[in-house]
A and B are shown apart, each in its own frame.
Chain A
């Protein structure tokens, strides 16, 4: 147990409390509150411009909140005596001087904390950049830049990893690699917080989800609950007695559509209920299946409201 008291196992590593950030008149993050826990990969989902990057920058102290707090393990980031071992951050891929080599970029950062050259070499090997480590970063591809950014984040072997769109620009091998890497890091008890606007990517990597739109919190839930909660789960029924079954299923909150003769698409209820209803009335079923919505569907449904909200308020202010 690493010598820590047992009650520390439920500690929240990243705490965002009523975080608001305005740039001039534009509100990037609006009264956002959520926690990120260690031990699992937490996804940070939202459309472009939703405030993901702003929130992440606030956590590592690059942007000062207009109001509210962003803390790591109970402290403001600037209070840490060794920031690189507390939080490793990949914020924008090209946060590197184009004229410097990857090795020297990492070395310069390592020296601030007295991290040895051995560790610099380790992270270079880990992200697969050993062949180009001595080359100037200006000639790097987007994918190589991302790998360097990940090496920077891992340099201090930190307890918390904050990665803004880490899969951007990675080839399929790279995407697979980072997925395994992040899950492994979380399994070691680290806090892994990664943003993406690619919902399918988060579905495969993350266990927990924070969803924001227009700088506001839309959902804070597990990936499974998010899909089943928002994804319009529908029950598809094929029955020669479809019309009679529909009569028996009808009720408040239940909507029934019949795309073709003998087929029903029922939402607002569960397959088990449909089956029991059919059995109770002696109706024959040929097919009974639940269609789960995809994470994309769930996400579109959830953010549609946020988009509408923006459009109506903009219309009102003119």
Chain B
């Protein structure tokens, strides 16, 4: 071997330059990830079946001589399944992020997007958008289905034009989207599927309800502001009797999302993957 051949290295390789990491790319990537898992289809199908099915079942079995009426009750009956399906989508929201940690795919994801935060925003945006679209359709479809079944009872004859009805239905959609986004942030903070689901159901959903049983007044004063309760007001046709006003309800939803995503983002930046 000649001296020249021994010292000569190949010229440095020049990598392709047409590919760039982008926000649109991250959104597309999360879209692909979401729909390429069987669990997404199963859970969303369950959510649809329960919200429409339960609403229809309850509306269809109302006795004709029931002595109650009004838009508030009618909407409440129609939406009875929606609360249950919000649990399904929240759990799926948690799994969207904790599934990456439990399987190790988070390392592939973060190697492709080393600034990390874009991944969190993309996950929240993609799943939030899917839930918004799906539940806008579900909530309004279930309402019309319910009204068709309630026709002829005291709960029938409610229309979207009645005062507060459309706002309450939009409120249901917003509540589910809010709870889903909150669940994603909790998943990002705790990184563990079982822990995140336990925390979400125990602390966010059940604890505020149990807390009202405690003997101290201040607890009942505080619970309406809790993350799991903040969205309640906007689902009422007549919200005047609620502890939080409609505006306050929106405000506190925003506050909790900012807090949750602030903590999630900070930890995502700081922790090792």
Contact = CB atoms under 8 A, between A and B. Distances in A.
Interface in B109-160: 109-115
Contacts of B240: none
A81 B107 CA distance: 18
Contacts, number: 160
Contacts of B32: 104, 107-108, 111
A98 B37 CA distance: 9
A85 B9 contact: no
A175 to B, nearest CB: 23
B13 A188 contact: yes
A9 B7 CA distance: 11
B16 A114 contact: no
B25 A111 contact: yes
Give the dominant DSSP class at A's interface: loop
B272 A62 contact: yes
Given A91-B107, A108-B29, A63 B19 contact: no
Interface in A23-80: 37-40, 57, 60-64, 77-78, 80
A94 B104 CA distance: 7
A2 B15 contact: no
B100 interface: yes
Contact of B100 (A4, A61, A92, A97): A97
Contact of B112 (A83, A91, A159): A83
Nearest to B28: A111
Given A63-B273, A100-B37, A95 B107 contact: yes
A9 B79 CA distance: 68
Given A77-B114, A99-B38, A100-B37, A157 B29 contact: no
Contacts of B270: 64
B21 interface: yes
Contact of A86 (B9, B15, B26, B33): B15
B21 A112 contact: yes
Contact of B115 (A39, A78, A115, A187): A78
Nearest to A60: B111
B39 interface: yes
A134 to B, nearest CB: 11
B19 A113 contact: yes
A109 to B, nearest CB: 5
B224 to A, nearest CB: 39
A37 B36 contact: no
A11 B272 CA distance: 29
Contact of A109 (B103, B104, B108): B108
Interface in B16-45: 16-22, 25-26, 28-33, 36-39
A318 interface: no
Interface string A198-231: 0000000000000000000000000000000000
A84 B114 CA distance: 10
B105 interface: yes
B10 interface: yes
Q: Which of A64, A84, A97, A109 has the most CB of B within 10 A?
A: A97
Contacts of A83: 21, 111-114
B115 A38 contact: no
B14 interface: yes
Contacts of A104: 32-33, 36
B12 interface: yes
Nearest to B110: A62
A83 B270 CA distance: 19
Nearest to B13: A189
- Among all A-B residue pairs, the 5 with the closest Cβ atoms: A39-B9, A104-B36, A189-B13, A78-B114, A189-B10
Interface of B: 9-22, 25-26, 28-33, 36-39, 99-100, 103-115, 270, 272-273
6 contacts: A9-B9, A61-B114, A62-B272, A85-B16, A91-B107, A111-B32
